[in-house]
Structure 1
Amino acid sequence: MTSPARFLIALALGAGIVGPAWARKDDPATQLANITKGRVAGKPQRCISLSDVNDSQVIEKTTIVYRVGNTYYVNQLKSGANSLDADNVPVTHTFGSQLCDMDTVNMVDRYGGGSRGFAILGPFVPYKPAPGTP
């Protein structure tokens, strides 16, 4: 087999194994799988303490993930997920010090500041590191 042919076969095999980076970045199921990898799902909770939330991540059109310490709380929205995207900033409306199932999240345009829709939170599913993982 000639050297160029070997190169093309190696290139094709590598592309099949690695895959395009943009496909993983934009695929919500893959994003969620990467976040929960090595973690164990717990019993869904109705509320989490807002003051304990360290960070949040939007997975477009599906989910908001809240980080509290080393636990990720995955919230599959009850409605309005279509307004979740990278160009919108989630602004949460709470009653008290907790973020709860049925609270609303307004989506505000990151660049213009206008309202882009709203979503209603569902239950919070905790994902903790699996036993024996660092």
Structure 2
Amino acid sequence: MKRATFLTSALVAAAATGLALTPLAAQDTGDVEAEAEAPAPPSKGEARLAKLLEGRVAGEPVRCIRTLPNQRMQTIDGTAYVYGSGNTIYVQRTRDPSAIDDNNALVTNRFNATQLCRLDITTTVDRVLGFFTGTVFFDDFVPYTRVKPDNRAEG
């Protein structure tokens, strides 16, 4: 009786976790390998960020960036926040980039008036209705600097 109860419990546990109870020879693993080799197409946000970063090289990540009241910030849905313009821009992917939404405004309680740092307390608020929508946890900011073409290599 104990053995039957154990087998029943094992079957229920296997079904709950999604384990397949078919013999290994009967499982088709060819399709799984083909799917693993094919890269997933980039999302719209990743494609937009890649276009923004064309001709730029990533630098060493930094904990804080200098910000000014008129500094440009772009929100790329589900991907990153991009700060600055000109030769160097800073990309902030956050710890949960999928939560980045252009419909939300960032509200930051800064420790320093002229810098934005990874430890600053940042929340999001709905742009239209003004209600709290979440919390943002920053990672280091990655600078991307425009590459200058080397004219000496051409001649």
Give the TM-score normalised by the residue count of structure 2.
Answer: 0.62
Query: Residue 86 of structure 1 corresponds to which residue in structure 2?
Result: 102
Tell whether the 8 Å contact from 1:90 to 1:105 is kept in structure 2 after alignment.
yes
Question: Tell me, which stretches of 5 or more residues in structure 1 are unaligned?
Answer: 1-23
- Which whole-Å deviations, capped at 9, do the CAs of 1:14-55 have from their partners, x for residues lacking one? xxxxxxxxxx9x711101101111111111111111227620
* 1:28 and 2:45 are equivalent in the alignment: yes
Aligned residue type for 1:74: V
Structure with greater strand share of residues: 1
- Which whole-Å deviations, capped at 9, do the CAs of 1:67-89 have from their partners, x for residues lacking one? 1543110011024x444212111
Query: Residue 124 of structure 2 corresponds to which residue in structure 1?
Result: 107
Secondary structure of the structure 1 residue equivalent to 2:68: helix
**RMSD over aligned Cα atoms:** 2.3
Task: Choose 1 or 2 for highest CA Rg.
Answer: 2
Give the TM-score normalised by the residue count of structure 1.
Answer: 0.71
Query: Residue 147 of structure 2 corresponds to which residue in structure 1?
Result: 130
Match of 1:43 among 60, 66, 78: 60
Query: Residue 54 of structure 1 corresponds to which residue in structure 2?
Result: 71
Would you identify which runs of 4 or more consecutive aligned residues in structure 1 move more than 6 Å? none
CA spacing shift, 1:93–1:62, aligned 2, 3 Å = farther
Residue 62 of structure 1, CA deviation: 2.6
Tell whether the 8 Å contact from 1:63 to 1:76 is kept in structure 2 after alignment.
yes
In structure 1, how many angstroms separate the alpha carbons of the residues matched to 2:79 and 2:117?
17
Question: Tell me, which stretches of 5 or more residues in structure 2 are unaligned?
Answer: 1-41, 151-155
Query: Residue 17 of structure 1 corresponds to which residue in structure 2?
Result: none
Tell whether the 8 Å contact from 1:53 to 1:68 is kept in structure 2 after alignment.
no
Greater length-normalized contact order (CA 8 Å, ≥ 6 residues apart): 1
In structure 1, how many angstroms separate the alpha carbons of the residues matched to 2:63 and 2:50?
22
